[in-house]
Amino acid sequence: MASITHKPQLRNAAAGRHYYDPMHASIFEVTFSVPAAISAEFGNDEYLQLLGEQVTTVSGLDALQKTAAAGEQKFFGASASYLNPTLDNTYAEITVEFNLNIRNTTDAYVLRVFKEWAKLGYDLGTGERRLMKDYVANNLIIKEANRDGTVWRNVEFQKVMLTSVTGLDALDYTNNEARKLTVVFRSDIWNEQIEKGIANA
């Protein structure tokens, strides 16, 4: 009589026998660049490192796993399924949440960089609009690592534009939570590298 091969005991699983580590969504690092038009003030290594340190969450990475949707034809009431030849879209929209802090008494350094970046697309104060070469950043890099910090996934988004800055809409005397800023980026091009692993490691 046939029986199942995966019995409910960790020693029967390859992950248990071979010391496999789970992936953790909390072990990651984000590295930013900014458009050349604002790099003189915000593009130095110290400032960009400060931005990376204030990241709390990243979402939207499922855009890298987009698949063609299923289509359907009907024949005498029966369904014949197929994959559509095109995707609904091929861009990635990455949402990053930041802690908002103030340094040197009044310097809202995280907020300032994204306010200035947003103005490159459309300056609400003057109506000025800049060209793509002015409002895109070279890249945004996201690295995921295992428990000891070894990177197993590296994603470099290129020609990165800023499409939304939110989180400052309301003030509330009864709210004691520290404020956060949510910034949405869009990229049409990226390189993703997932490591294969080290034999006998």
Banded pLDDT at 106 (limits 50, 70, 90): very high
Please report whether residue 78 resides in a domain: no
DSSP codes of every residue in the chain: ----S--S-GGGSHHHHTTPPPP-TT-EEEEE---GGGHHHH-SHHHHHHHHHTEEEEE-GGGGG--PPEEEEEETTEEEEEE-SS-S---EEEEEEEE---BTTTB-HHHHHHHHHHHHH--TTT-----HHHH-EEEEEEEEE-TTS-EEEEEEEEEEEEEEEES-S---TT--SPPEEEEEEEESEEEEEE----TT-
Rounded Cα distance between 47 and 41, Å, is 9
Which residues are registered as beta bridge partners of 139?
158
Summarize the confidence of residues 83-100 as an average pLDDT. Answer: 96
Summarize the confidence of residues 86-103 as an average pLDDT. Answer: 96
Summarize the confidence of residues 78-86 as an average pLDDT. Answer: 95
pLDDT of residue 9: 61
Please report whether residue 76 resides in a domain: no
Q: What is the extent of the structural domain holding 48?
A: 35-62+90-201
Total domains, the chain: 1
pLDDT of residue 200: 52
Please report whether residue 73 resides in a domain: no
**pLDDT digit string, tens, across residues 121-159:** 999 999 999 999 999 999 999 999 999 999 999 999 999
pLDDT of residue 111: 96
**What's this model's pTM, rounded to 2 decimal places?**
0.89
pLDDT over 70 (residue 12): no
Please report whether residue 11 resides in a domain: no
User: 186, 161 in Cβ contact below 8 A?
Assistant: yes
Please report whether residue 116 resides in a domain: yes
CATH number of the domain to which 167 belongs: 2.30.110
**pLDDT digit string, tens, across residues 46-70:** 999 999 999 999 999 999 999 999 9
Please report whether residue 84 resides in a domain: no
Please report whether residue 52 resides in a domain: yes
Please report whether residue 164 resides in a domain: yes
pLDDT over 90 (residue 99): yes
